[in-house]
């Protein structure tokens, strides 16, 4: 009896999954379920078929809230299929553990420490303190923004574009979800190109994109600041909120200026100044993780595509609906380099000093992300017959879970689609989670040996 008990304990210990493994497995299983639902006849329009790889690609794009597609969404999927897509977008956007927390609370089940750890990993948090409050806040924010967005968009489609109310309602709900989750999925077949001069629709989509990409902890602190003003109490923003907000806005401004100046004598030449500003701002914002476009991406010049690729590689803020290496990672890298150039042996910002572990982690994420993108570009250049700028743009769009595309996804080979699928999945779960899958806490150093210098650079 003791032997059986010992054997069972050893088996459970050997095959037990860590919180990060459970989180990644959850996203993978949900993607598989989504693919099986999308390939079913009830999800497809009459006469349409979807092969397994395309169904898996679409499901991954939805769960990772990327927006890249290999089939036409409006032509391929029925109403049921679009509803399934909406649920996949919602699930992928606000996260598996947010919905899981809601289930725990509604059922009255106690949330265990292991679940807290999964929530912390999924939301890129450094502590489990206040996790349930953050999850509930994310749910409230998602519901409020998506309902308001759906109401405004439905009214606009119904009144100004004379759509039948049922169609306008469906479009309003879908685009509100797709906007807030930064998915960029499209039901018109050509993005928002028909709404290039409709600044209300662009404004609503932009607010939804900004809310979903700026980071939920930032929104929570902004809400706390608003409450402090009403109560006339003192409130101090965290270093995370200050850094991520400043970085987000600076990147948004730089993208806007670059697109505006680079394409001023190109596709923007014959537009009014309002359209020029709108196109430049909208596409800069969408590189955070949005994926919507008001003009054909292919008309942009090579420098613009390369700069947008860099912005997509950086991506959105941590604990948001976006992907990429994240804004704080980029900021820490940049500040650390400047600190080293000035001869400092520590990194300080806004009267705070950063932990060496966080600096090392940011450089590790950036290095592995860069290697992943470079290797993916090399493999795709070997297997696909497209220009290198198009391949790089598509790879950065997939990794940043952005969804902006030059249109090459539909013509990718099976190998090419699998590479993009992997990039979208990694972009959603995060490079850090991927590295933690291989992390072994048992291999921590118990002693140190003699150190020796090595020539670098």
Instruction: Tell me if 192 sits within 8 A of 275, measured CB to CB.
Output: no
Q: List, for residues 207-219, the tens digit of each pLDDT value.
A: 999 998 898 888 8
Q: How sure is the predictor about 442, in pLDDT bands with cuts at 50, 70 and 90? A: low
SS3 state of residue 432 = helix
Which of 69-83, 226-240, 420-434 is modeled with the greatest confidence? 69-83
For the entire predicted model, the pTM comes to 0.88
Residue 8 has pLDDT above 50, yes or no: no
Calpha distance 87→176 (Å, rounded): 12
* pLDDT, mean of residues 189-213: 89
Nearest to 427 by CA among 401, 447, 391: 401
The dihedral built from the CA positions of residue 168, 173, 175 and 179, taken in this order, carries a sign that is: positive
Of the given ranges (136-145, 236-245, 438-447), which has the lowest mean pLDDT? 438-447
Q: How sure is the predictor about 99, in pLDDT bands with cuts at 50, 70 and 90? A: low
The dihedral built from the CA positions of residue 128, 218, 99 and 39, taken in this order, carries a sign that is: negative
**Domain ranges, ordered by start, for the chain:** 16-439
Which of 73-77, 320-324, 453-457 is modeled with the greatest confidence? 73-77
Q: List, for residues 377-411, the tens digit of each pLDDT value.
A: 999 999 999 999 999 999 999 999 998 998 898 89
Residue 98 has pLDDT above 50, yes or no: yes
Q: How far is CA 161 from the centre of its chain?
A: 31
Query: DSSP string of 341-381?
Result: HTT-SS-EETTEE--HHHHHHHHHHHHHHHHHHHHHHHHHH
Q: What percent of the chain has pLDDT over 70?
A: 85
Instruction: Tell me if 387 sits within 8 A of 274, measured CB to CB.
Output: no
Calpha distance 307→300 (Å, rounded): 11
Of the given ranges (252-266, 339-353, 437-451), which has the lowest mean pLDDT? 437-451
Q: Quick one: three-class SS letters along 158-220?
A: HHHCCCCHHHHHHHHHHHHHHHHCCCCCCCCCCCCHHHCCCHHHHHHHHHHHHHHHCCHHHHH
Predicted confidence at residue 19, as pLDDT, reads 66
Calpha distance 92→429 (Å, rounded): 10
Instruction: Tell me if 215 sits within 8 A of 319, measured CB to CB.
Output: yes
Predicted confidence at residue 434, as pLDDT, reads 79
């Amino acid at each position: 009896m003791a032997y059986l008990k010992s054997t069972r304990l050893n088996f459970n210990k050997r095959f037990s999954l860590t919180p990060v493994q459970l989180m990644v497995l959850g996203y993978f299983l949900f993607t598989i379920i989504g693919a099986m639902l999308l390939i079913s006849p009830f999800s497809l329009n009459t006469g349409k078929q979807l092969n397994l790889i395309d169904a898996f690609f679409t499901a991954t794009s939805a769960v990772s809230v990327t927006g890249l597609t290999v089939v036409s969404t409006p032509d391929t999927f029925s109403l049921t299929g679009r509803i399934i897509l909406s649920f996949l977008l919602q699930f992928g956007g606000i996260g598996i553990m947010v919905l899981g927390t809601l289930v725990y609370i509604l059922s009255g089940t106690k949330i265990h420490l292991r679940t807290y750890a999964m929530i912390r990993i999924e939301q890129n948090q450094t502590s489990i303190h206040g996790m349930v409050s953050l999850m509930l806040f994310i749910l409230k924010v998602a519901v409020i923004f998506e309902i308001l967005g759906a109401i405004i968009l439905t009214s606009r489609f119904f009144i100004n574009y004379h759509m039948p109310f049922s169609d306008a309602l469906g479009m309003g709900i879908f685009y509100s979800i797709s906007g807030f989750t930064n998915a960029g999925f499209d039901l018109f077949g050509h993005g928002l190109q028909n709404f290039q001069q409709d600044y209300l629709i662009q404004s609503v989509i932009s607010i939804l994109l900004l809310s979903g990409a700026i980071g939920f902890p930032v929104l929570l602190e902004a809400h706390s600041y608003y409450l402090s003003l009403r109560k006339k109490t003192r409130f101090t923003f965290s270093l995370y909120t200050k850094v991520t907000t400043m970085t987000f806005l600076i990147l948004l401004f730089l993208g806007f200026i670059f697109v505006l100046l680079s394409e001023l004598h190109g596709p923007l030449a014959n537009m009014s100044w309002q359209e020029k500003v709108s196109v430049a701002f909208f596409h800069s914002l969408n590189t955070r993780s949005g994926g919507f476009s008001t003009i054909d991406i292919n008309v942009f010049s090579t420098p613009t595509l390369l700069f947008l690729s860099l912005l997509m590689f950086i991506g959105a803020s941590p604990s948001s609906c976006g992907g990429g290496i994240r804004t704080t990672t980029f900021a820490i890298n940049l500040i650390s380099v400047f600190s080293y150039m000035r001869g400092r042996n520590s990194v300080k910002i806004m009267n705070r000093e950063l932990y060496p572990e966080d600096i090392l982690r940011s450089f590790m994420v950036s290095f592995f992300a860069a290697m992943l993108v470079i290797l993916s570009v090399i493999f795709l250049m070997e297997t696909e017959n497209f220009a290198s700028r198009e391949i790089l743009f598509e790879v950065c769009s997939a990794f940043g879970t952005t969804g902006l595309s030059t249109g090459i996804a539909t013509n990718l080979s099976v190998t090419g689609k699998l590479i993009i699928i992997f990039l979208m999945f990694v972009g959603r779960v995060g490079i850090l989670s991927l590295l933690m899958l291989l992390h072994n806490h048992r291999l921590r150093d118990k002693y140190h040996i003699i150190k020796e210098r090595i020539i670098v650079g």
